[in-house]
Amino acid sequence: MDKFVVYKSTLKGEVEISGSKNSALPIMAATLLTDQECRIAGVPDLADIRTMIRILESLGKEIVFDGNVLFVKAKKKKTHVAPYRLVRTMRASFCVLGPLLARRKKAKVSLPGGCVIGARPVDLHIKGLQELGAHLIVQKGYCIAEANILRGNHIFLGGTFGSSVLATANVLMAATLAKGETVIEYAACEPEVVDLALFLKKMGAVIEGEGTPLIRVRGVSSLSGAEFKVIADRIEAGTFIAVALATSSNIIIKGANHSHLTSVIETAKKIGADITIEGSKIKVKGKSLLKPVNIVTLSYPGFPTDLQAQFMSCLCIAKGLSLITEKIYPDRFMHVAELNRMGARIQRNGPYAIIDGGGGIFGAEVMASDLRASAALVIAGLVAEGKTEILRIYHLDRGYEKLEEKLKKLGAKIKREKQ
């Protein structure tokens, strides 16, 4: 097991953003909808991607992953079972349920794992697929589903905390091979859902309304192989905006789509960043004096929950009181205790966190609890006085491609060591 050792740093230079993990994973699952070959470019080399490769291989796919390009084709031997030993590490793996059901008429998929960020039920997945005509039961930790024929339906996918990206993806994929028209109301609008829909269209699916809360799908009899390139990772780009902001650094972020980051850029400007857009470049200039703000996480295009922790690290050094309200995952505050170990003054009350910033951050030994919390601790380490040791960084390797190498190229004092 590895750890990061981090020291206070000022950064400067350019960083290239990798392809989106949250886009690539459902697109990989969508290859189960065809036996023809698919070529997917821009796939980041991450632990989660490698896990999905193993899941697809266990389900009868032959995969070559070379230079961020994924080649997927079918083998003769197929199964419909996605086992716990693979699915347990990653929530996005549950996205194989819809494609398996649509293509192979049955599926047995372990209930998913992933980061410990609070309750994330799969009820919307089950509801949506049931309304397409599937029979599903949850038994001994598995979701077992059967459907001789899927039929289009009008499906409302709103949940307690808004729309669900992965439930939208699962129902969308299943609907492509259902008979008749499916209308998904309260669909997730995230760019990753749009990317999945564009891939499915290249395979021959008939879809309208992606990127809006109302998606229409007209089922077809079969889908073909396709070539596709996934979008840049907006969460990685947002993380580097937070890095520049916290460390008062000048960083040029290359390859990201700034239109996917509107709420993040506006929030960073309020805190004190100077940000300019030049084509595919986002130029971020951090300032030495940061301002407190209030942040509310919301479904896209609101402020993303996946950047809440990173921006909390920034607010720890912004003089004054800030308030973060977590409306997507109300328990997603595992990083609060670790930031407080570094001298931050954060008080949590239910889905709210009050940050009394400006008191200084100091190096300490801290524990990464989940993917985005890990990034928040790295940012805190880059502004802390003294040495910060971040344990259990395997979480980071699930979602950030070569993070320490990218930071080192910008001048960060960070190294990976055996724990």
* Residues annotated as part of the active site: 115
- Cα distance from N-terminal residue to C-terminal residue, the chain: 6
Nearest C-alpha neighbor of 216 from the set 154, 156, 150? 154
Nearest C-alpha neighbor of 91 from the set 132, 58, 138, 51? 51
The two three-digit tokens of residue 33, written as one number: 């909808």
Cα-Cα-Cα-Cα torsion 14, 19, 21, 26, nearest 10 degrees, comes to 160
C-alpha distances in Å from residue 332, one per residue of 13, 20, 163, 326: 32, 21, 17, 7
Is the CB of residue 10 less than 8 Å from the CB of residue 249?
yes
What is the C-alpha to C-alpha distance for residues 282 and 41, in angstroms, rounded to an integer?
Answer: 23
Sorted by sequence, the CB contacts under 8 Å of residue 353 that are 6+ apart come out as: 312, 323, 324, 326, 333, 336, 346, 347
Is the CB of residue 320 less than 8 Å from the CB of residue 292?
yes
Place of tokens 């059901």: 101
What is the C-alpha to C-alpha distance for residues 419 and 404, in angstroms, rounded to an integer?
Answer: 16
Residues shown for the chain: 419
What is the C-alpha to C-alpha distance for residues 332 and 321, in angstroms, rounded to an integer?
Answer: 20
The two three-digit tokens of residue 150, written as one number: 């899927």
